[in-house]
């Protein structure tokens, strides 16, 4: 029997190579080429220029952009307010959503709850499980209190059978848990391989668009936290959601990385309970530590997650370091921390060269926006001097290398959120302060600054 021909496929981009290489020639990733059996080549029915295909189909009809009716997409609420916020208002007919996260973080739990809520609202839901049996899914539903759930369950991993079942039942939403377990008989590679994941996702996406069924794909993640499989998987789907948070904590964050029907970087906050995931209506409360009295090194930041202003406590600890002082940040960019320490030294005269500096965002939230700069610098200065900031103090703003304090987007919404939660003093960029003649924010004293030196002078007067 002739030996089957093998090729090497990159798990990151799907590029192929005839032999194993340490570095992928297509995307440059290291140690990502894996051996697979090559699929048989299709007949060369088409010539080099594709003239045969061109003669088979007529020209497509064109439409002028200004003449196309701009209609908003219809959405079906899932009954879970936090999930609807991340999705942009609910699921869209024919939309394809990819959700990833660490094992055991709650992906299957959340989707089973959402499917049951949709079923209770009269929308047919189908849960396709490839990793568990129907009995295991039923056991989870009993644990979540869904004793009378009418969600239909299909334990199958063959793509052709799944699509045939979907075509016969035409549910409103179909959950595929997970896409890495599904395989097609048209390919010889094993389930979970780059080719299988790409082709199965493409067929399910095509079915969703043609039938109007909303499809939710559950994806595994790699040890680096990225979705396993080819990168093209994220480009195929309409929405990409990531589960964030520590499995040892009771709180989970669901973040939208891509959304064709809503805002990106929108987050939903959930609490893991004995009855499953419950939405947190006031997420700022879980990211604020309850200090009886103000403590040094603690500053409250008003950050923006998607369209939601959220209050997060930034904590800093400055301690005597050795010959090689450490700079460590949790939830914030470490390189940006080193830059802020240099600006603090050069423009404000606060030196931490021989000090260990630790910065943490409370609650496990990750902050990527530069509007956290001012709060981080004030927290570091407060810890270094051992003097706490006054009670009810908040700050936000980006700090440049020249020491200027730049405005943050949607500053008025941030200030209103802080005032609503009882904060009374704010240090913000001058451009974010209410303009003359504008309505003052009740109960909030606002100090507008243009440079980091001004901010530190104002804080010294308060301490």
**How would you classify the pairing of strands 393-395 and 425-429?**
parallel
Residue 228's pLDDT is 65
Q: Quick one: which of 87, 93, 90, 98 has its CA closest to 200?
A: 98
Tell me phi and psi for residue 103, to 5 degrees. -60, 135
**Assigned token pair, 282:** 């006031």
Strand partners, 254: 243, 268
**What separation in angstroms does the CA of 107 have from each of 100, 141, 221?**
7, 14, 12
- Give the integer Cα–Cα distance in Å for 432 and 407: 6
**Assigned token pair, 130:** 């490839």
Cα atoms in the Cβ-side hemisphere of radius 13 Å centred on 443:
12
Per 3-state DSSP, the chain is made up of helix, strand and coil in percentages (nearest 5) of 30, 25, 45
> Hey, what long-range contacts does 80-83 have (CB within 8 A, 24 or more apart)?
80/110, 80/113, 80/114, 80/117, 80/277, 80/279, 81/279, 81/281, 82/254, 82/268, 82/269, 82/270, 82/279, 82/280, 83/110, 83/114, 83/254, 83/268, 83/279
> In order along the chain (463 residues), what is the average pLDDT of each group of 10 residues?
70 83 89 75 48 62 88 86 92 94 89 94 94 93 91 95 96 94 86 86 95 94 68 88 79 90 88 90 79 90 88 94 88 93 94 92 86 96 94 95 94 91 93 76 90 95 85
Residue 46's pLDDT is 47
- Give the integer Cα–Cα distance in Å for 308 and 380: 26
Residue matched to tokens 């927290």? 379
The residue ranges of DSSP E strands in 44-201, in sequence order, are: 75-76, 91-92, 96-100, 125-129, 152-155, 173-177
pTM for the complete prediction?
Answer: 0.77
Strand partners, 175: 127, 216
Helix or strand run (H / E) with residue 34: strand 33-37
- Give the integer Cα–Cα distance in Å for 196 and 274: 36
* Concatenated DSSP letters of 334-379: HHHHHHHHHHHHHHH----TTEEEEEEEGGG----SGGGHHHHHHH
Residue 195's pLDDT is 81
Residue 247's pLDDT is 66
Size of the chain, expressed as the number of residues it contains: 463
Helix or strand run (H / E) with residue 10: strand 6-10
Work out the number of other CB atoms within 10 angstroms of the CB of residue 84.
Answer: 20
Strand partners, 227: 221
298 contacts 381 by C-beta, under 8 angstroms: no
DSSP 178: -
Cis-peptide, bond into residue 91, ω within 30° of zero: no
Tell me phi and psi for residue 107, to 5 degrees. -65, -50
Distance, CA of 368 to chain centre: 12
C-alpha torsion 174→95→104→368, nearest 10: -170
Name, in order, each residue with C-beta under 8 angstroms of 147's C-beta and a sequence gap of 6 or more: 141
Residue 32's pLDDT is 82
Q: What is the CA radius of gyration of the chain?
A: 27
**How would you classify the pairing of strands 33-37 and 6-10?**
antiparallel
- Give the integer Cα–Cα distance in Å for 34 and 17: 10
337 contacts 413 by C-beta, under 8 angstroms: no
Q: Quick one: which of 316, 350, 320 has its CA closest to 460?
A: 350
Q: Where are the alpha helices (DSSP H) in 74-133?
A: 81-87, 107-120
């Amino acid at each position: 029997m002739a030996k089957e021909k093998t090729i090497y496929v990159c798990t990151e981009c799907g590029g192929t190579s005839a032999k194993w290489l340490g570095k992928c020639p297509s995307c440059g990733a290291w140690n990502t080429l894996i051996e697979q059996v090559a699929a048989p080549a299709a007949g060369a029915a088409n010539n080099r220029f594709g003239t045969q295909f061109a003669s088979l189909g007529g020209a497509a009809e064109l439409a002028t952009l200004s003449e196309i009716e701009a209609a908003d997409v219809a959405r079906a609420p899932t009954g879970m307010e936090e999930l609807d916020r991340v999705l942009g208002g609910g699921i869209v007919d024919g939309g394809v959503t990819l959700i990833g996260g660490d094992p055991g973080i709650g992906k299957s739990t959340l989707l089973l709850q959402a499917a049951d809520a949709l079923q209770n609202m009269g929308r047919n839901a189908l849960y396709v499980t490839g990793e568990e049996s129907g009995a295991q899914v039923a056991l989870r539903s009993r644990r979540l209190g869904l004793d009378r759930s009418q969600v239909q369950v299909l334990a199958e991993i063959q793509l052709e059978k799944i699509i045939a079942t979907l075509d016969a039942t035409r549910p409103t939403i179909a959950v595929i848990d997970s896409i890495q377990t599904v395989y097609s008989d048209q390919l010889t590679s094993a389930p979970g391989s780059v080719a299988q994941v790409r082709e199965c996702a493409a067929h399910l996406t095509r079915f969703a668009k043609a039938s109007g069924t909303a499809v939710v794909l559950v994806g595994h993640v790699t040890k680096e936290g990225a979705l396993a499989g080819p990168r093209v998987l994220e480009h195929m789907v309409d929405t990409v959601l990531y589960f964030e948070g520590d499995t040892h904590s009771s709180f989970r964050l669901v973040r939208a990385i891509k959304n064709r029907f809503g805002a990106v970087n929108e987050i939903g906050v959930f609490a893991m309970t004995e009855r499953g995931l419950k939405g947190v209506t006031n997420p700022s409360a879980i990211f604020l530590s309850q200090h009886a009295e103000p403590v040094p090194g603690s500053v409250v930041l008003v950050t923006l997650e998607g369209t939601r202003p959220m209050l997060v406590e930034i904590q800093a600890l400055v301690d005597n370091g050795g010959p090689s002082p450490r700079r460590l940040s949790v939830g914030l960019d470490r390189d940006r921390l080193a830059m802020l320490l240099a600006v603090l030294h050069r423009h404000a005269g606060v030196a931490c060269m021989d000090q260990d500096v630790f910065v943490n965002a409370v609650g496990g939230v990750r902050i990527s926006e530069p509007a956290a700069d001012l709060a981080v610098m004030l927290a570091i200065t407060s810890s270094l001097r051992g003097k706490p900031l006054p009670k009810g103090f908040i700050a936000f703003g980006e700090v440049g290398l020249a020491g200027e304090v730049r405005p943050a987007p949607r500053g008025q919404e941030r200030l209103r959120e802080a005032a609503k939660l009882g904060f009374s003093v704010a240090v913000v960029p001058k451009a974010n302060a209410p303009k003359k003649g504008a309505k003052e924010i009740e109960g909030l004293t606002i100090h507008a600054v243009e440079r980091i030196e001004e901010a530190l002078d104002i804080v010294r007067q308060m301490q």
